[in-house]
Amino acid sequence: MMRYSFKSLLGMMPVLAIVTIPTVAEAKLESCGNIFLSADASCEFHKKQECVESCKVVSVEESCAAQLYTTCENKCSTTATTECTQTCSPVCVDQCMASPSPKTSAKICRDDCMADCNSKCADAKNPSCCAKACPYTCDRKCEDRCHDDDESVECTPKCATACDGTCTSTTNTACQVECQTTQWESCKTTTREECTKSCMDKGGAIVCNGEFVNASNLKDCAAELSAQVSIDLDVDVDVDIDTHVVTSTAKNGAKKATSFSCALARTPSGGDGALVAFAALGGALLLRRRPRS
């Protein structure tokens, strides 16, 4: 018989407090490495100066769960069995009708799948891997098969949808956990390296719930955080100004400036600001002191 008690695994994750939103809407953030995040998450942007050190200690398991899910999906794409859905539906309908407030099929699916994760991960070969891989699989499978806007739908058809998602999810989680476990440690090592690379190349990194977010573009990830789960971050990537002065020789042999241009680039370190300002000022003075022809 399927269980519908929800025991959250969120308490197992480290929390980095900076932004807390009272609602608990959840979304998959494609620009943030396909992670799932709820609006009560805590997110922070680490600038380059403080980021490299943070990358050495930050957890990377959420990013690994998202990456390895895709890697393992080809061998873990099973569907719900008729036996499972027939066992699930009567229990679901009874609890749906007894519930004081209506739930969506996606919520029913996630709750039951996550409860199943608790028992799976208690005896898992790698509990840390299971604690991330199992809930992530629940989220993905329930998202694909269920709905977040069907609270008003009657319990019987809604439970048919929810049980299809639940049975598919619980079948897939066992396969995903087993598959991801074989690649878990190497993924964490690689992702920590990606965190450091992000710090160096992108001027910083985003961390949510104490975990590095493997975003291909920091500003796109920050925009999606704001739009999808109402978490606002100020992604302030430092830039410097490269000045280019092209000179030509006058008839009398004197040098004169003929053009002046600026190009934006990320600041290599926090201590170069004075040099940048000096270079810009020097270029401006050179233009002002240009001899008359």
- What is the per-residue pLDDT across 88-124, written as a single tens digit (0 to 9) for each? 999 999 999 999 999 999 999 999 999 989 888 988 9
Tokens of 192: 């920590």
- Cβ contacts of 82 within 8 Å, gap of 6 or more: none
**What is the Cα–Cα distance from 206 to 28, expressed in whole angstroms?**
16
DSSP annotation of 182 reads T
Which region, left, alpha or beta, applies to residue 34 given φ > 0 means left and ψ of -120 to 50 means alpha?
Answer: left
Using DSSP's 3-state secondary structure scheme, residue 46 falls into: strand
What is the structure's pLDDT at 56? 87
- pTM comes to 0.70
20-65 pLDDT, tens digit each: 333 345 789 999 999 999 888 999 999 988 888 888 888 999 999 9
Output 145 or 261, whichever has higher pLDDT.
Answer: 145
**What is the Cα–Cα distance from 138 to 168, expressed in whole angstroms?**
9
Q: Name the phi and psi angles at 175, rounded to 5.
A: -65, -45
Locate the domains of the chain by residue range: 10-184, 239-288
Question: N- to C-terminal Cα distance for the chain?
Answer: 93
**What is the Cα–Cα distance from 21 to 45, expressed in whole angstroms?**
17
